[in-house]
Chain A
Amino acid sequence: MPFSKENCSQLYNQINGKLMADLKSQIIAQLNLQDMNPDNIGDDQPLLWKVLGSTQSML
């Protein structure tokens, strides 16, 4: 496998990916976001800033 930013990221996501998925599920459950699923939330998408600062927010 070539040594690249993308492959480093892909390997790291394998140890971090489950945690991210769990966190997204918790956010959706706790905020009762019935129209959303974890796939709608990007890994590097700001949450609080977006919610407070823009109508184009996650909410």
Chain B
Amino acid sequence: MSAKLQISSSILIRKNNLIKDGISVFEYSGTNISDFLGSIYIFLGITYPKFYKMDNLSKLGFLATELLLKDNKLSEKYLPEEIGVNLSNTNSSLDTDIKYFQSTQDIASPSLFAYTLPNIVIGEICIRNKIKGENSFFISSAFDPELTSIYVKSLFEEQALRACICGWVECLESEYSVMLMLVEKMFKII
């Protein structure tokens, strides 16, 4: 029996479009990113009040993961420690950093401060999905497919992961893009 890593599902979010496994599942006609994210939340039928406290980067990662795992409950197949997360982007948490800095001109906002790290999006995903495996957030000028593939493969080999949510979550002002993959170890009888 041999094990191969497979992308069992993927999510893309760009230009008001939500795509799962190559099929557009939701399209929004407005121009406001907050309204777009709120519309996805309603579309997915989620009840998770903490969503409204998140910054846009976390909302993007959270919503993409909700759709990624919609028909694939990882918690029913794997232990929390067997699921990892590896995300990357270019602008880190700059979208919220700027908003937080602006808030310091008056009264610094603790609710914004809580999101002034990019890996907070991973925390939100892990809390929601009860994930306790290895997690990391890389900052690079562009998505590095070689680094992601080598790193995630090493997590499966060395950290005994059996599933990993990985990819790209980017947000700065009105620009955003998401590419998430669910990678699982598939066994094949040979």
The majority secondary structure among interface residues of chain A is helix
Tell whether B153 is near chain A: CB-to-CB under 8 Å.
Answer: yes
Residues of A within 8 A of B168 (CB): 12, 15
CB distance from A29 to the nearest CB of B (A): 21
Tell whether B57 is near chain A: CB-to-CB under 8 Å.
Answer: no
**Using a Cβ–Cβ cut-off of 8 Å, how many residues does chain A contribute to the interface with B?**
15
Tell whether B148 is near chain A: CB-to-CB under 8 Å.
Answer: yes
**Using a Cβ–Cβ cut-off of 8 Å, how many residues does chain B contribute to the interface with A?**
26
The answer on a CB contact under 8 Å between A8 and B178 is no
| A4, A7, A11, A16 pick with most chain B CB within 10 angstroms | A11
How far apart are the CA atoms of A20 and B150 in the complex, in Å? 25
Within 81-140 of B, Cβ neighbours of A (below 8 Å) are at: none
Tell whether B177 is near chain A: CB-to-CB under 8 Å.
Answer: yes
The answer on a CB contact under 8 Å between B153 and A15 is no
